[in-house]
Amino acid sequence: MNADFGRVMLVVLFALIPIAGIALGMRAPALRSKIPLLVAFFAGLIPIFSMYIPKRFLSGDGGMSPRLDEWLIIVAGFALLLGITNVISNSYRKISRKERNWPYAIVLLVGLFTMGGFGIYGAVSHQGTGFLPDGSPTPFRWVETTVFQPLQSTIFALLAFFMASAAFRAFRARNTEATILLIAGAIVMIGRVPLIEFLAAPFPALQPAAASAGQFMGKATEWIMDVPNGAAQSGILIGAALGAASMAIRVILGIERGYLGLGKGE
Amino acid sequence: MFGRSCDFGGEKPVDTTTGGSLVSASVRLTASSLVVLTLLLCAAPAGAVAPVTTPPPPPELPAPTAFVAVDRPGDGGNAILLTWTDPAPLPEGTVLEVRRSEPPADEFGELQTVKPGAQRYVDASAEDGKTYRYELRVRGVETPDSLGIAGAVGPALVSDPVSPHDNWFRTERTNSLLAVLLFITFILTSIAAARSGKPIFIRRIAGLNAVDEAIGRATELGKKVLYIPGIQSMDEIQTIASIAILGHVARATARYGTDLDVPNKDPLTFVSAREAVHSAYLAEGRPDLYREEMVHYVTYDQFAYTAAVSAQMTREKPAAIFLVGYFFAESLILAETGQSTGAIQIAGQADPTQLPFFVATCDYTLIGEELYAASAYLSREPVLLGSMRGQDIAKAVLLAVGIIGIIAVSLGATWFVDLVRTQ
């Protein structure tokens, strides 16, 4: 069995069976709800089998498992079209009904059509979306570097301020747990920066003691991060991994159907 | 299977008594006169005549043994595994030379030189469907051959013909397969027990108990519920868990007649979320309350999405915000913005990297496995609860294996590490 066999099986499992199911489901709605479960069953089993069966039709280059990942990209591409359609229709509705904050919808549509237009122009004129032969940017690239990327960086930079405000709230010693958090946080912060050495810099007599204290805080930081923090993270990861595996089994067996909007299992 | 010894493949053995060293000394003698001369030199008294020395014959290089070439077991094809036993003792400065031929051609071509001690080599350049023969011999890098040239070779072993092919099972993953089968058995037996009506105790999860409270608060205030399903696609198990929870939240908002808003970053998640919310409103008998714009698409860019949702929070001030799914750097920006609006916030994430941000900024956080348990906990369906019990049994087994492993490794039993190591 070679890669072609895998290709044929994929078409049968994920194209012919769903189409046949939809056709049959026109007359029997109960059957219609079974088809997504069947598709999920096969889609879940193929990557698991490919973990243990190295046959080329299943897990080799162009086999069922890697090809299934490629199909996901294709499906996502079509879903993106649905998303864009949704953005346009929602914005149009807001503008036409003059709903609350409707001017923002105009800004959104202008941005969407401008970037989309530059992208299509780049494709039609064979310029692409990068740089022209003389080194100057295409209109698409120019808007991206001068408008989009600075805005993106601005939003990311907000993280520093949000981190400070969140730390301020988290480190208030309201109860025992918060006090432990405060102490541990203070040790880690002092251990990560040469604060003690900096404070002792004007006093040469204190510098050896400050250096020793700095080393001690560094070791204490290392211990906090490796031992209590590492143990807690490992516990969370093991629990989450088992939870994810359990969820995956429920999805593959069709017990968990909430993600399909099918309601209760059984 | 074992290789057989053969000749030097075209390099004829050289008689050391008529070696090239004498030829290089430009003294052309016949074999008989050489014998006479040697005898005379041996009989002459020491120091009488400057002796004419004959270089020592090159050392005989040994041959490896037990040379076997087989298709590499448990792989996807295109590889041959060669194993052998190094000869002992192997002189200094020697390597093992692997050569390959494709029948019907008899000529071996250079493939690879292997340092002594490896005793195995994988030919990853082989192709499925072709037959190969391999030759293995010892080459002394500095050892002179009979002509006095460095690089003497020992007798060669030739393998039987072998063809690579893809296999049906990765034998090195047997332990992993057994663990998976055991885990599935735990889950299925627990589900069967739950189906039989056996009561199952599930510990209280504060974050999930607060779901109804948060939606009730939004209802009382007449404000909307904002549900953010993370920024990953439906191939991420956390997103699947999030959409399952969204179904329960949507049922509650349908029951209470509360407005629901689900902004999406990923197009596939958007389609699934819309289906889940629509079905929830139908299931609650309130299709009249469902509006298409409840579940809407925003953008595929991470920070553009963050900006849009943060702005929405600031403008519309929802009463309850759910941040459930897979988040990256935007987690704190979203949660802190939501916190500043005074909304009750429930977060859920299985990845420890973003959890501290949610714990610091949200009222309730579903940590790790609680996220996956949410669907079962909220629906109280026996089958789903049964799977959670199976998961807990697996956790207990894993804990026991961990303790045994700690003891075994502390006592120096490395076999335990080999037993549980996965490849």
Contact check, Cβ <8 Å, B276/A261: yes
Length of chain B, in residues: 423
**Whole-number percent of chain B with pLDDT over 70:** 85
Q: Are B315 and B288 in contact (CB under 8 A)?
A: no
The rounded distance, in Å, linking the Cα atoms of B306 and B31 is 94
Mean pLDDT estimate for chain B:
85
Contact check, Cβ <8 Å, B387/A156: no
Q: For residue A82, is pLDDT > 70?
A: yes
Write the pLDDT tens digit of every residue in B387-401.
Answer: 888 989 998 999 999
Q: How many CB atoms are closer than 10 A to CB B118?
A: 12
Write the pLDDT tens digit of every residue in B221-251.
Answer: 999 999 999 999 999 999 999 999 999 999 9
Q: For residue B80, is pLDDT > 90?
A: yes
> What are the residue ranges spanned by the domains of chain A?
1-91, 100-170, 172-246
pLDDT score for A259 = 81
Fill in the DSSP letter of residue A222: H
pLDDT band at B57, cuts 50/70/90? Answer: low
Contact check, Cβ <8 Å, B372/A246: yes
Average pLDDT over residues A140-148: 95
More confident residue, B52 or A254: A254
Chain B residue with CA closest to A71: the answer is B235
Query: Which residues does chain A have within 8 Å of residue B375's beta carbon, measured at their own beta carbons?
Result: 247, 256, 258
Average the pLDDT over each of B144-148, B223-227, B372-376 and give the range with the smallest value.
B144-148
**In Å, what is the CA distance from A119 to each residue of A126, A128, A129, A216?**
10, 7, 6, 57
Contact check, Cβ <8 Å, A60/B298: no
Spell out the residues 6+ positions from residue A222 whose beta carbon is closer than 8 angstroms to its own.
Answer: A191
Strand duo B133-144 + B156-158: pairing: antiparallel
More confident residue, B134 or B62: B134
Q: Does A157 touch chain B (CB under 8 A)?
A: no
Q: Does A32 touch chain B (CB under 8 A)?
A: no
Of B177, B357, B379, the CB nearest to A166: B357
Residue B263, SS3? strand
ipTM over 0.95: no
pLDDT score for B106 = 81
Average the pLDDT over each of A4-13, A155-164, B323-332 and give the range with the smallest value.
A4-13
Residue A208, SS3? helix
pLDDT band at A98, cuts 50/70/90? Answer: very high
Contact check, Cβ <8 Å, B307/A90: no
Write the pLDDT tens digit of every residue in A17-70.
Answer: 888 888 887 777 777 778 888 889 999 999 999 999 999 999 988 899 999 989
Average pLDDT over residues A98-122: 94
More confident residue, B167 or A258: B167
Q: Are B306 and B298 in contact (CB under 8 A)?
A: no
Which of these, B336, B348, B315, B364, lies nearest to B214 by C-alpha position? B364
The rounded distance, in Å, linking the Cα atoms of B60 and B91 is 10
Query: Which residues does chain B have within 8 Å of residue A50's beta carbon, measured at their own beta carbons?
Result: none
Of B278, B357, B384, the CB nearest to A261: B278
Distance of CA B299 to the CA centre of its chain: 33
**Residue B64 φ/ψ region, left for φ over 0, alpha for ψ in the -120 to 50 degree band, beta for the rest:** beta
Contact check, Cβ <8 Å, B387/A255: yes
Chain B residue with CA closest to A167: the answer is B360
Rg (CA), chain B: 38
Query: Which residues does chain A have within 8 Å of residue B267's beta carbon, measured at their own beta carbons?
Result: 76, 79-80, 82-83
pLDDT score for A1 = 60
pLDDT score for A23 = 84
Write the pLDDT tens digit of every residue in A193-246.
Answer: 999 999 999 999 999 999 999 999 999 999 999 999 999 999 999 999 999 999
pLDDT score for B256 = 95
Query: Which residues does chain A have within 8 Å of residue B336's beta carbon, measured at their own beta carbons?
Result: 162, 165-166
pLDDT band at B125, cuts 50/70/90? Answer: very high
pLDDT score for B54 = 59
Of A242, A248, A262, the CB nearest to B395: A242
Average pLDDT over residues B150-154: 80
Write the pLDDT tens digit of every residue in B253-278.
Answer: 999 999 999 999 999 999 999 999 99
Q: Is B254 exposed, middle or buried (0-12, 13-18, 19+ CB in 10 A)?
A: buried
Average pLDDT over residues A79-100: 94
Strand order in the sheet with B80-85: B65-71, B80-85, B120-123
Q: For residue B353, is pLDDT > 50?
A: yes
Structure-block tokens of residue A15: 């194209």
The rounded distance, in Å, linking the Cα atoms of B208 and B388 is 15
Of B170, B248, B379, the CB nearest to A52: B170
Write the pLDDT tens digit of every residue in B160-199.
Answer: 999 999 999 999 899 999 999 999 999 999 988 888 888 8
Backbone angles phi, psi at B122, to 5 degrees: -110, 120
Contact check, Cβ <8 Å, B275/A261: yes
Query: Which residues does chain A have within 8 Å of residue B237's beta carbon, measured at their own beta carbons?
Result: 244, 247-248
**Gap from B94 CA to chain A (nearest CA, Å):** 37
Chain A residue with CA closest to B241: the answer is A259
Which of these, B266, B298, B311, lies nearest to A158 by C-alpha position? B311
Which of these, B143, B145, B121, lies nearest to B134 by C-alpha position? B121
Write the pLDDT tens digit of every residue in B6-48.
Answer: 333 334 333 333 333 333 333 344 444 444 444 444 444 444 4
Chain A residue with CA closest to B194: the answer is A266
Residue with tokens 């904050």: A101
Peptide bond into A202 cis (omega under 30): no
Structure-block tokens of residue B327: 């988040």
Handedness of CA B116, B121, B123, B129 (dihedral sign): positive
Contact check, Cβ <8 Å, B298/A87: yes
pLDDT score for A22 = 81
pLDDT score for B194 = 87
**Whole-number percent of chain A with pLDDT over 90:** 66
Spell out the residues 6+ positions from residue A62 whose beta carbon is closer than 8 angstroms to its own.
Answer: A3, A6, A7
Window 121-140 of A: residues touching B by CB (8 A cutoff) are none
Length of chain A, in residues: 266
Q: Are A264 and B379 in contact (CB under 8 A)?
A: yes
Of B76, B333, B355, the CB nearest to A159: B333
Of B76, B180, B271, the CB nearest to A79: B271
Q: Is B91 exposed, middle or buried (0-12, 13-18, 19+ CB in 10 A)?
A: middle
Average the pLDDT over each of A255-264, B113-122, B158-167, B240-249 and give the range with the smallest value.
A255-264
Q: Does A180 touch chain B (CB under 8 A)?
A: no
The rounded distance, in Å, linking the Cα atoms of B127 and A131 is 42
Q: Does A11 touch chain B (CB under 8 A)?
A: no
Residue with tokens 């994810």: A244
pLDDT score for A2 = 67
Spell out the residues 6+ positions from residue B139 whose beta carbon is closer than 8 angstroms to its own.
Answer: B61, B94, B95, B96, B97, B113, B151, B152, B153, B154
Choose from A70, A75, A86 for mutation: most chain B CBs within 10 A.
A86
The rounded distance, in Å, linking the Cα atoms of B215 and B227 is 11
In chain B the first and final C-alpha atoms are separated, in Å, by: 28
Write the pLDDT tens digit of every residue in B198-228.
Answer: 888 888 899 999 999 999 999 999 999 999 9
